[in-house]
Chains A and B, each alone.
Chain A
Amino acid sequence: MSKTAIAEEQSSTEVSSSKIVTLRIAKFNPEHDSGQQYVDFKVPYERWTTVLDAILDVKKHLDHSVAVRYSCRQASCGSCGMKINGRPKLACFTKISELNSDVVTVEPMSNYPIVRDLVVEMDKMFANHKKMQPYVIREDSEITTPTKEFNQTPEQLEEYIQFANCIKCGLCNSACPTMAMDSSFLGPQALGQAYRYVADNRDKGKNSRLKIIDDSHGIWRCHFAGSCSQVCPKGVDPAMGIQLLRGYLLGFRK
């Protein structure tokens, strides 16, 4: 039987040639390491390879012990937040080719305790988020009101929907200069979510939330550096939410 050659693919798309990048991973196992160590791995990448792809490549072929959190691989779960070349980013949303660097350094997000390697503890962030009472507060409910549902116009929805896009990735807290030092600061994620509920016309819990954030380690420790909004992968713009929220406390908004 004669061997037939596999037909060549006819495609106008330029085929990307595989290149090599040095992936420098910060490794730290608190059970037996005294400090962080950087280990270099040579990883091939294409035009479309993300940092997460590269890390998983290392995990598969070179070092099975690399600890990394990931899930959706499409920037909707917020699991793979880490520092990439010094800046907090989602690993699944960052292409190696975009970084324009021969060495890509990946480290765990700053301002969170390290569990191991690239995995950090997010408990404090979730606790701060819970403090903001992240639910619509009302005395009545949709079951008891005569209208059966709480009305909201498209314009009223636009007031807060941007802030509802938060995927709790924690990149904003990692970039915040106040979070770098102040362990009691609520953080841009929590404050942004406080605004999300205050701006929601269905919510009646504005005063209780404002009382919580009007604290020496609350909203007033934000100095509008804007780094949180610079790194947010979903366009939530927590800095905008925080400044708009301040308007309520300063008396500019009712």
Chain B
Amino acid sequence: MRESTIMKIHYGTALGAVVLVAVHVLFRVTMMNYEDSLAYENVLANYKFLPYAIMLELILVLISVHGFNGLRVILLELKQGRTYEKAVTYGCIAAMAGLIAYGSRTILITSMGIT
């Protein structure tokens, strides 16, 4: 993939994440008292509300992509070499996929009510 395409994705995920994370945070502070919003039943209700669950999934994907691409950029600048650069790129992709898989498992199982 060309670096310009990767950077367009980096900028796009940033903009998307800003909007969705703002909504996610506002959900916690505006709907009810912050402490109450973290209660088990209220969090469960959030996950069971499908649009919110989809939003969480989107945040997970957007921030994982943006964050691990940023880490990849920093690591590529630290050291150079074919083997190292391949290892960093594939490592970051693997970490990104792993985190998305782990987070998606939580969202999917909780929103389907199998806890």
A interface residues, Cβ below 8 angstroms from B: 178, 181-185, 214-218, 220-221, 249-250
Q: Chain B contacts of A221 at CB under 8 A? A: 73, 76-77
The binding surface of chain B is classed by DSSP as helix
- List 5 A-B pairs, Cβ < 8 Å: A182-B80, A184-B80, A220-B6, A221-B76, A249-B4
Q: Chain A contacts of B8 at CB under 8 A? A: 250
B interface residues, Cβ below 8 angstroms from A: 2-4, 6-8, 73, 76-80, 85
Q: Chain B contacts of A183 at CB under 8 A? A: 80
B78 contacts A215, C-beta separation under 8 Å: no
Q: Chain A contacts of B73 at CB under 8 A? A: 220-221
Q: Whole-angstrom distance between the alpha carbons of A250 and B79 in the complex?
A: 27
A182 contacts B3, C-beta separation under 8 Å: no
A to B contact number (C-beta, < 8 Å): 32
The binding surface of chain A is classed by DSSP as loop
Q: With A216-B85, A250-B8 as given contacts, are A181 and B3 in contact (CB-CB < 8 Å)? A: no
Minimum Cβ distance to chain A for residue B73 (Å)? 7
Q: Chain B contacts of A220 at CB under 8 A? A: 3-4, 6-7, 73
A217 contacts B80, C-beta separation under 8 Å: yes
Contact among B3, B6, B77 with A178 in the assembled complex (CB-CB below 8 Å): B77
B78 contacts A216, C-beta separation under 8 Å: no
B80 contacts A215, C-beta separation under 8 Å: no
Q: Chain A contacts of B80 at CB under 8 A? A: 182-184, 217
Q: Whole-angstrom distance between the alpha carbons of A217 and B81 in the complex?
A: 11
Contact among A182, A214, A215, A250 with B77 in the assembled complex (CB-CB below 8 Å): A182
A-B interface, 3 closest residue pairs, ranked by CB to CB distance from nearest: A182-B77, A249-B4, A184-B80
B3 contacts A214, C-beta separation under 8 Å: yes
Q: Chain B contacts of A216 at CB under 8 A? A: 3, 76, 85
Q: Whole-angstrom distance between the alpha carbons of A216 and B4 in the complex?
A: 9
B4 contacts A217, C-beta separation under 8 Å: no
Q: Whole-angstrom distance between the alpha carbons of A216 and B3 in the complex?
A: 6
Q: Chain B contacts of A215 at CB under 8 A? A: 3
Q: Whole-angstrom distance between the alpha carbons of A215 and B76 in the complex?
A: 12
Q: Chain A contacts of B6 at CB under 8 A? A: 220
